[in-house]
Structure 1
């Protein structure tokens, strides 16, 4: 199954569709395209509402954490690619769903219960993006066009972000009279610094792909869609070549370090490595290193 012709995933051609195992009989995902490339050892989650600029519907919010968990459970991949079909990555939350969420506190009945229902709804939406941090494998977001509101929230929950020159980022919530509540205010600062995060979030201004790279939000900004597709393939191949336990551990330790002190982080990584350092991966790496050293020494004789 090929990805959308304008998707950043199009540089990989052997995608095989994955069904939603959380549904009866294994139904297809309806708001997403979920697939794997066995050759590249890569999973794909593609937002598939190009006619709506990939605005996230209620279905998408439910399917995103299921897709992330499904790919996390697979041992035949080492990296997950997140992208959007068509010209845009994600233009934010679907307006219809935003209206439904707002109505949770507008009806009659007990105000306390309606506010608790709203809190539970917000926490469920938060989990839809936090699921990408919980995924064992590194998640690479490939971004083109609009990456606005919920879109930039989603991108910030990924491990690595790549974009094309036409990408536009905006923390849009303040223009809607909303305090952003699904992760961007917590995740953006560690990526770009508190001052830049405050300026982006308080002004809701549009940020170009080039500036996003200069500020450290994206790792690379490509001049064309073709360049982005090639960059995606290169990144996927690089990550997929790494030892399994090391890549899982490195992602987990980085996320722990973001949320804890240096002392706590050092203790955590010591505990992690005391559990997982002895491994076949380590044995292979040591043997390869010794073989290279032996070859280099022989060539000097």
Structure 2
């Protein structure tokens, strides 16, 4: 897998598990222009490659992330609200940011977020695009945008209602209150809460290793079906299920899984096919 040199993250791949770590603790892992560019490049590389079969996203320092860096809407990118043309351009700018986090959701492999400390503003946008969320007992979640006079706009208000009751979404989005990890687990935002960051990351990596041991194409199909069912009727989703199963069914995979289970050994499955653009030589 060819990945770019990174300044906001570290990336490793071990035993088919990718581990992406936010690595600007001195800046509370805020999301500046370089963050967005590097994250987009990393997710594209992971999507097109086939070495990683699951992705864990964790962080460093006091907080998982304090959200959007002020420089994104400061000197780096000036939002023009003085004209219709300028305001129209805001929508296109936001679409680019939204597309990056949407790559987490559409990634061919599952994504597990290991969250500690503050998960604030844009960080909530990020983790709601993950498949599974683990948190430390000191973690908290805050839809910070309302506290600075704006609407959360990079995915929180679209994905959070799919994860927790609507009244909880409205309470967080209208008040900008902090939701502690215990409450987040109670309402279903996080799967598990751990005493320490090390325990949280270890659990996320263990879950990722379990996923990586399954047939990658079956994991791919499962992710497709779950997301489709979330957004469609039962009847439509059952029909799509038939198409997906017909596309990826493998007698060899089922046989290998059963034989390995009986033989008390780890199964072996082929990776997903790497992706190439039509424009590539």
Structure 1, residues 152-202: CA drift from partner, whole Å, max 9, x if none? 110000000111111111011111111111111111111112111111111
Structure-1 separation of matches of 2:181 and 2:251: 40
5 Å matches for 1:215-226? 215-226=187-198
Identify unmatched segments of 5+ residues in structure 2: 265-281
Aligned to 1:34: 11
1:58 to 1:277, Cα distance in 2 relative to 1, 3 A: same
2:193 match: secondary structure: strand
1:99 equivalenced with 2:74 (yes/no)? yes
Kindly name which structure, 1 or 2, has the bigger radius of gyration based on alpha carbons. Answer: 1
Q: Is the 8 A contact 1:132 1:158 kept in 2?
A: yes
Structure-1 separation of matches of 2:69 and 2:201: 27
Judge which range, 174-183 or 222-231, deviates more: 222-231
Structure-2 separation of matches of 1:154 and 1:164: 17
Match of 1:44 among 19, 24, 33: 19
1:285 to 1:207, Cα distance in 2 relative to 1, 3 A: same
Say what the alpha-carbon RMSD is for the aligned residues: 2.0
Structure 1, residues 244-276: CA drift from partner, whole Å, max 9, x if none? 111111111111111111111111111111111
Shift of 1:211: 1.0
Match of 2:102 among 130, 134, 149: 130
Shift of 1:281: 1.6
Moved over 6 A (4+): 289-292
Match of 1:184 among 151, 156, 161: 156
Match of 1:243 among 215, 225, 233: 215
Structure-1 separation of matches of 2:77 and 2:173: 21
Structure number with the bigger relative contact order (C-alpha 8 A, sep ≥ 6) is: 2
Structure 1, residues 197-244: CA drift from partner, whole Å, max 9, x if none? 111111110011111111110110001223213312321222122111
Shift of 1:286: 4.4
1:103 match: secondary structure: coil
Aligned to 1:149: 121
Tell me the matched-pair count.
264
Q: Is the 8 A contact 1:213 1:220 kept in 2?
A: yes
Structure-2 separation of matches of 1:289 and 1:106: 61
1:201 equivalenced with 2:185 (yes/no)? no
Structure 1, residues 45-104: CA drift from partner, whole Å, max 9, x if none? 221211110000011112212211211222222100111122211111001112258732
Q: Is the 8 A contact 1:165 1:210 kept in 2?
A: yes
1:87 to 1:279, Cα distance in 2 relative to 1, 3 A: farther
Aligned to 1:162: 134
Q: Is the 8 A contact 1:18 1:36 kept in 2?
A: no
1:82 equivalenced with 2:82 (yes/no)? no
1:226 to 1:102, Cα distance in 2 relative to 1, 3 A: closer
TM-score where L is the length of structure 2 = 0.88
Structure-2 separation of matches of 1:205 and 1:105: 29
